[in-house]
Amino acid sequence: MEYLPVFLNVRQGRSLVVGGGDVASRKLALLARAGARVTLLAPEIGNSTRKILANPDYAGQIHWLPCRFDPAYLHAQTLVIAATNDVNVNAVVYQAAKQRRIPVNVADDPAHCDFILGSVLERGSVLVSVTSGGQSPVLSRQLRARLETLIPPAYGQLGQLVGHYRNKVKQRFTETSQRRRFWESVLQGPVADHMLAGRTRLAEDTLNRLISETRPSELSQGEVYLVGAGPGDPDLLTFKALRLMQQADVVFYDRLVSQEVLALVRKEAELIYVGKQRSWHFKRQEEINLLLLEHAQQGKRVLRLKGGDPFIFGRGGEEIATLAAENIPFQVVPGVTAASGCASYAGIPLTHRDYAQSCVFVTGQLKAGELDLNWSSLVQPRQTVVVYMGLAGLPELSAQLQHHGMAADMPAALVQQGTTENQRVWVSTIADLPDLAIREKPIAPTLLIIGEVVQLHQQLAWFSV
């Protein structure tokens, strides 16, 4: 981050704005709305600034001095904004403020800004500020406009309701974690629904009932969220996955979870890596199962974040079996599995009425150095075969499929790190695939797709990085 996002309390504080044009008027209005006492320095002012000075809502807040800047005016100021159309004047203001260690903003000059005034969306006590770091104010305003369609005005009333009952909830639930869980359930449940629908009285009655009926012990119960993180692209996460990722106290994740997905986890959550890869396990599966159990028994909300879908070659069933045996509550959130995600981003339909009416998922992971698959079931007409974790056993896979009747020229593709910026797709035949892998050296995770549908890649490939 280039700037630390903060919200300053400038109410009744002293602020200085230098300049009287349109840009200065916008800064002036923002400070006045925040309750600041503003001194405006400008020999002349424009119509937009005059309108702000005449606004009865800001009566007594703004004092206009029709004179040029002098460092003496910086005395006891909380912050300074230079918004003239003269770069030399702005530079003088900037240097004078810096010498006095007063935060300063030079309009349209990010290099000379200690702080930035973002584009503000206001919903009562709820404020959302958007900034592009001073690079594109127009982009910030467009993002704010988009947020306005997503955040209805009633959120301001919802914020006021929460503020009104904050002390009552604090007295009822003494632990910080209990209060956080309580408010999360309130803001995602019927109280929020009633308020957003305009049923203010019903929302307040419901909140009072929840405060009195919810036992503190209920808010100390641990729970596990087994969540599929998809193949890499964070845009493929489900809404439920994102919501639970924002509630977690501790997160156990594997190597297939992309950094972009991890960045969406609640910032305060503890992140614990439990990745596994071929021939090297950072944590054995039995250890992972016990870690989930132990942290849930401590009353934590535990997020088990797994690449792809947790129930498709993800060993998710083993993890929740341990939890079920100990009566630990859990939720399972499916994710976009690698077969679906990577094939889609590679432009390879897994089924197509002209080429394939069935699709089979198998794992190519070696067991005791060998592949143990039902080869005859894989060599069927008009069928797509998707092989997970198949790189190490690729030579044997190719040989066995041909030995059991698959044509040597059957189209096949390797999709490396599908749906991410590192995606690469190689198309060949089942016979030539081992040599291609030696030559190109694909890295894990790489998915293998076998079938006539692979020949559609050249026509349907849409994703490029």
Question: Which of 336, 371, 398 is at the close of a domain?
Answer: 336
For residue 419, give its domain range.
Answer: 339-460
pTM score over 0.85: no
Residues in Cβ contact with 268 at an 8 Å cutoff, skipping those fewer than 6 apart: none
Domain final position from 272, 304, 336: 336
Q: How many CA atoms lie within 13 A of 162 on its CB side?
A: 21
Is residue 141 a part of any domain in this protein?
A: no
**Is residue 341 a contact partner of residue 236, using CB atoms and an 8 Å limit?**
yes
> Which residues are the active-site residues?
254, 276
Q: How far apart are CA 205 and CA 189, in angstroms?
A: 14
- Ligand-binding site membership of 408 (annotated): no
Q: What is the pLDDT of residue 183?
A: 95
Tens digit of pLDDT for each residue in 315-363?
899 999 999 999 999 999 999 999 999 999 999 999 999 999 999 999 9
Which CATH number does the domain housing residue 412 bear? Answer: 3.30.950.10
Annotated ligand binding at 338? The verdict is: yes
- Rounded distance between C-alpha atoms, residue 123 and residue 197, angstroms: 15
User: Is 164 a domain residue?
Assistant: yes
- Is 359 in the same domain as 309? no
149 is a domain residue: no
Percent of the chain with pLDDT over 90: 83
**To 10 degrees, the CA torsion angle through 321, 306, 367, 442?**
170
Domain boundary among 61, 93, 117: 117
Instruction: Give the C-alpha distances (Å, rounded to integers) separating 269 from 67, 133, 316.
Output: 53, 27, 21
Pairing of strands 358-363, 250-253: unpaired
Residues 414 and 348 reside in one and the same domain: yes
For 186-230, what is each residue's pLDDT tens digit? 998 999 999 999 999 999 999 999 999 999 988 989 999 999 999
Task: Verify that 211 and 243 share a domain, yes or no.
Answer: no
CA distance 346 to 344: 5
Peptide bond into 103 cis (omega under 30): no
Q: What is the pLDDT of residue 28?
A: 94
Q: Tell me if 122 is assigned to some domain.
A: no
Residue 308 labeled ligand binder: yes
Are 248 and 163 contained in the same domain? no
Helices marked H in 214-273: 239-245, 259-262
Nearest to 19 by CA among 135, 109, 107: 107
Residue 188 shares a structural domain with residue 95: no
Establish whether 103 is an annotated binding residue.
no
- Strand 424-429 and strand 411-416: pairing? antiparallel
Task: Say whether both 348 and 422 belong to one domain.
Answer: yes
Report whether pLDDT(380) > 80.
Answer: yes
Spatial distance between the Cα atoms of 432 and 398, rounded to a whole number of angstroms: 8
Answer yes or no: is 312 a known binding residue. Answer: yes
* Mean pLDDT of the chain, nearest integer: 93
Q: Is 309 annotated as a binding residue?
A: yes
110 has binding-site annotation: no
Residue 118's closest CA among 108, 110, 129? 129
CATH number of the domain encompassing residue 177: 1.10.8
Number of domains in the chain: 4
**Same domain for 331 and 225:** yes
148 within a domain of the structure (yes/no): no
> Can you tell me the distance from the alpha carbon of 464 to that of 242, in angstroms, rounded to the nearest whole number?
26
Determine the pLDDT at residue 365: 80
Place of tokens 């992309």: 258
**What pLDDT is stored for residue 276 in this prediction?**
66
Crossing angle for the helix pair 200-213 and 176-187, to the nearest 10 degrees: 150
